Amino acid sequence: MNRTDTLPPDIELARLLQQCAAADTVAFRTLYDKTSPILFARLLRMLRRRSVAEEVLQDVFVRIWQRAAQFEAHRGRALAWMVTIARYCAIDLMRRERMTLVSDDAIAEVADEASGEPGGLEKPNNFDHCIGKLNDNTRQCLTLAFVEGRSHDEIARLTTNPLGSVKSWIRRGLLALKDCLSSEGQTT
Amino acid sequence: MKSANRELVDRLAAEYVLGTLRYRARRRFERWLLSPQVGAIVKAWEDRLAGLEPQLTPVTPSAAVWRGIENKLELRKMQRRPAMRWLGVAASLIFFVAVGVFITRPPAQPPMTAQSSLQTDPQTIYWRVEVLGDNQELNLRVQTVHDLPAGKSHELWALPEGGAPVSLGVLPHTGDHHRVLNAAQRAALANSKQIAVSLEVEGGSPTGAPTEVLFAAPLSRA
């Protein structure tokens, strides 16, 4: 789907965040109504279980309310800022509880039928080109980590690769991505 | 930052954003995030990896989620609470006026226009706060480490006249820090004659209002 069909532009979300920073609870409810379905879908993608994702979604919005004053409209995009908070809340829980979420039963609870293809947020220039230059193993490891919140150990198990290889692919993949984006970015 | 440190920070920042740091390493790394340099490196990785964000069909959560958020933040209570009551508490605290010390700084920053020393007695200054330009930026300089119970944070507040306190963020415990304020913070600071420090749960106030005010201090406008 195209998110711009249903979501207000970032500038409106940024304005709502500024109102939240000034303790405007009505603006906070509006922000929740507009963004909670996206953030919930994102959490479900990582946490799989609806009950767990709903608990974390509460923490995400508590944090958004507390941190609204720290959102710097000129530095970042509002939706990306909120999605990042959601990802970090989910990762914190998964790492703290050492959650293992690989059972097929749990996956059946995932409500999204979307492709899960990249493109949910604005990409850096040349991102597709740079991610395409990575080998398949590396790309798969980065995607499992970022999109699903998998740990090194889980990725090794899921992909049946040695843990050392997974760690090394991820480390080198991140460096290669950074180098490619910075060098290609200068030529465009 | 030395180049070896920068490489290490860059590597940790990348895995922090990717999500592959273990829990303890994540917590340790988050302490570094108070440094603007580390914050900028993390932000750069967030921008880079945003390209991996998947397109998902939105899913509406149950109504219980909003009720839970309302309860956790005590939003209903907040709507009824007059902001002036809190200001009365702050006004009853003892303040110490600080002697303004102008410190030269690189020309990239706007000039200092106000400053405050956060202290509970004349001998011990905990943080020196400098306001730069038109309330746009802050320099926070840790002078003496204030006791902090485990699992707690110190948070800085603007006390705008006639309005509710506005958070200026969690206070650091080491070194010098620079912070750019957003529009709401700038407006609040412009109308403040005082700033305050509160004790909060780790990461900042859960309600958007100060939980336990430790002390307040006047802002001396240059």
Do B23 and B91 lie in one domain? The reply is no
* Per-residue confidence (pLDDT) for residue A2, from 0 to 100: 42
Q: Please report whether residue B71 resides in a domain.
A: no
* Per-residue confidence (pLDDT) for residue B126, from 0 to 100: 82
* Per-residue confidence (pLDDT) for residue B105, from 0 to 100: 36
* Per-residue confidence (pLDDT) for residue B43, from 0 to 100: 92
Q: Please report whether residue B76 resides in a domain.
A: no
How much is the mean pLDDT over chain A?
84
Shortest Cα–Cα distance, A169 to chain B (Å):
12
CB contact under 8 A, B54 and A178: no
Residue of B15, B20, B28 to mutate, testing the A interface (most A Cβ within 10 Å of its Cβ): B20
Count of A-B CB contacts under 8 Å: 197
Do B92 and B179 lie in one domain? The reply is yes
Task: Considering only the beta carbons, identify the residue of A6, A32, A143 that sits closest to B52.
Answer: A143
Q: Which two tokens stand for residue A169?
A: 């692919």
Q: Residue A95's closest chain B neighbor by CA?
A: B23
As for how many domains chain B has, the answer is: 2
Do B39 and B129 lie in one domain? The reply is no
CB contact under 8 A, A72 and B180: yes
Do B99 and B204 lie in one domain? The reply is yes
Please count the CA atoms within 13 angstroms of the CA of A110 that sit on its side-chain side: 24
Contacts of B150 (CB under 8 A, 6+ apart): none
* Per-residue confidence (pLDDT) for residue A37, from 0 to 100: 95
> Which of the 8 DSSP states describes residue B148?
-
CB contact under 8 A, A70 and B182: yes
Do B137 and B97 lie in one domain? The reply is yes
d(CA A166, CA A139): 11
B179-208 residues touching A, CB cutoff 8 A: 180, 182-185, 188, 203-206, 208
Residue of B59, B181, B189 to mutate, testing the A interface (most A Cβ within 10 Å of its Cβ): B59
Query: Sign (positive/negative) of CA torsion A70, B14, A99, B62?
Result: positive
Do B43 and B133 lie in one domain? The reply is no
Q: Does B23 contact A at CB distance below 8 Å? A: yes
Do B85 and B156 lie in one domain? The reply is yes
pTM of the model: 0.63
> Which of the 8 DSSP states describes residue B202?
T
Do B97 and B17 lie in one domain? The reply is no
In tens, the pLDDT along B31-47 reads 888 788 898 999 999 99
Regions of chain B short of the pLDDT cut 50: 82, 84-86, 88-89, 91-107
How much is the mean pLDDT over chain B?
80
Domain ranges in chain A? 1-98+105-116, 123-188
- Residue range A123-188 forms a domain whose CATH class is mainly alpha
* Per-residue confidence (pLDDT) for residue A113, from 0 to 100: 42
Q: Which of B131, B101, B73, B19 is nearest to A154 (CA)?
A: B19
Distinct helix (H) and strand (E) counts, chain A: 9, 0
> Which of the 8 DSSP states describes residue A118?
B
d(CA B145, CA B131): 21
> Which of the 8 DSSP states describes residue B59?
-
Regions of chain A short of the pLDDT cut 70: 1-8, 74-76, 99-120, 184-188
Decide: A175 and A116 in contact? Cβ < 8 Å: no
Decide: B62 and A111 in contact? Cβ < 8 Å: no
d(CA A122, CA B88): 46
CB contact under 8 A, B23 and A92: yes
d(CA B16, CA A87): 11
d(CA B192, CA B190): 6
In tens, the pLDDT along A60-95 reads 999 999 889 888 776 668 999 999 999 999 999 999
CB contact under 8 A, A62 and B56: no
CB contact under 8 A, B58 and A73: no
Helix locations, chain B, DSSP H: 3-18, 23-32, 36-49, 63-73, 75-80, 83-91, 183-190
Task: Considering only the beta carbons, identify the residue of B47, B56, B62 that sits closest to A112.
Answer: B56
Q: Please report whether residue B70 resides in a domain.
A: no
Residue of A16, A50, A146, A153 to mutate, testing the B interface (most B Cβ within 10 Å of its Cβ): A146
Shortest Cα–Cα distance, A143 to chain B (Å):
7
Q: Which two tokens stand for residue A32?
A: 């929740």
User: Dmax of chain B from CA atoms?
Assistant: 59
Decide: B210 and B195 in contact? Cβ < 8 Å: no
Task: Considering only the beta carbons, identify the residue of B46, B51, B180 that sits closest to A127.
Answer: B51
Do B193 and B86 lie in one domain? The reply is yes
Pairing of strands B212-218, B124-132: unpaired
* Per-residue confidence (pLDDT) for residue A7, from 0 to 100: 63
> Which of the 8 DSSP states describes residue B54?
B
Residue of A5, A16, A43, A65 to mutate, testing the B interface (most B Cβ within 10 Å of its Cβ): A65
B67-126 residues touching A, CB cutoff 8 A: 68-69, 72-73, 75, 78-79
CB contact under 8 A, A114 and B56: yes
Kindly indicate whether the ipTM for this predicted assembly is greater than 0.90, answering yes or no: no
Task: Considering only the beta carbons, identify the residue of B55, B168, B182 that sits closest to A18.
Answer: B182
CB contact under 8 A, A18 and B184: yes
- In CATH, the number for domain A1-98+105-116 is 1.10.1740.10
Shortest Cα–Cα distance, A146 to chain B (Å):
5
Burial string for B24-46 (b: 16+ CB within 10 Å, else e) reads eebeebbebebbeebeebbbbbb
Could you list the residue range(s) of the whole structural domain that residue B137 is in?
81-221
Burial of B105 (0-12, 13-18, 19+ CB in 10 A): middle
